[in-house]
């Protein structure tokens, strides 16, 4: 819904942010937040993030990719829709500059394990921790994280850097 990017962009005004969201109400909420005295360092794109990256973002140019609580698509028949599958992870890594950061947070433990395994198998990425990372202080708490905590699910972070 845009709260995380607003908080991060406000806290780090010297960094530019490109927020991409397929969920139209999330885009609208972010645009309203930006209009209401939001930071000027955010650009918003509506649609598929992977398509945006394919068409408009050259390889090796991003300082970071943040994916906080992406849809886990828990049903096995829907796993093909997951953002952080191994083939897609390699593509995302290709858009990072050397030393760039991939930061993923999810409350869906099986998905978190798959992401961790995909990061370990991707030769262009190095996990910054032995396993899951402690929650970085700069990552805002999202409503999805609050809902997960209320349901007894822990948020799990994976932080990797591009080699």
Spatial distance between the Cα atoms of 62 and 65, rounded to a whole number of angstroms: 7
Q: Give CA 79 to chain center in angstroms.
A: 17
Q: Against a cut of 0.85, is the pTM above it?
A: yes
What residues are annotated to the active site? 71
pLDDT in tens, the chain (163 residues): 889 999 999 999 999 999 999 999 999 999 999 999 789 999 999 999 999 999 999 999 999 999 999 999 999 999 999 999 999 999 999 999 999 999 999 999 999 999 999 999 999 999 999 999 999 999 999 999 999 999 999 999 999 999 9
Q: Could you give the dihedral angle defined by the CA atoms of residues 89, 95, 101 and 106, in that order, rounded to the nearest 10 degrees? A: -40
Spatial distance between the Cα atoms of 38 and 44, rounded to a whole number of angstroms: 13
Strands 42-46, 17-21: parallel, antiparallel or unpaired by DSSP? parallel
Strands 156-162, 62-68: parallel, antiparallel or unpaired by DSSP? unpaired
| Max CA pair span of the chain | 43
Spatial distance between the Cα atoms of 65 and 76, rounded to a whole number of angstroms: 26
DSSP state of 155: P
- Tell the CATH superfamily of the 59-162 domain: Vaccinia Virus protein VP39 (3.40.50.150)
- pLDDT value for 63: 98
| Sole residue written with tokens 């998905």 | 111
Domain edges within the chain? 1-47, 59-162
Q: Which residues contact 108 (CB under 8 A, 6 or more apart)?
A: 72, 74, 153
């Amino acid at each position: 819904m845009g709260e995380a990017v607003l908080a991060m962009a406000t806290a780090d005004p010297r960094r530019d942010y490109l927020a991409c969201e397929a969920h139209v109400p999330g885009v609208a909420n972010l645009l309203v937040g930006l209009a209401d005295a939001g930071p000027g360092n955010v650009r918003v794109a509506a649609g598929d993030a992977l398509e945006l990256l394919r068409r408009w973002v050259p390889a090796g140019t991003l300082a970071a990719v943040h994916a906080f609580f992406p849809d886990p698509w828990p049903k096995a028949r829907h796993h093909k829709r997951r953002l952080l599958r191994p083939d897609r992870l390699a593509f995302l890594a290709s858009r990072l500059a050397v030393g760039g950061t991939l930061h993923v947070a999810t409350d869906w433990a099986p998905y978190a394990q798959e992401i961790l395994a995909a990061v370990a198998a991707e030769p262009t990425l190095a996990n910054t921790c032995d396993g899951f990372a402690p929650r970085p202080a700069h990552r805002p708490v999202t409503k999805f994280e609050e809902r997960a905590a209320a349901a007894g699910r822990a948020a799990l972070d994976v932080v990797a850097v591009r080699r």
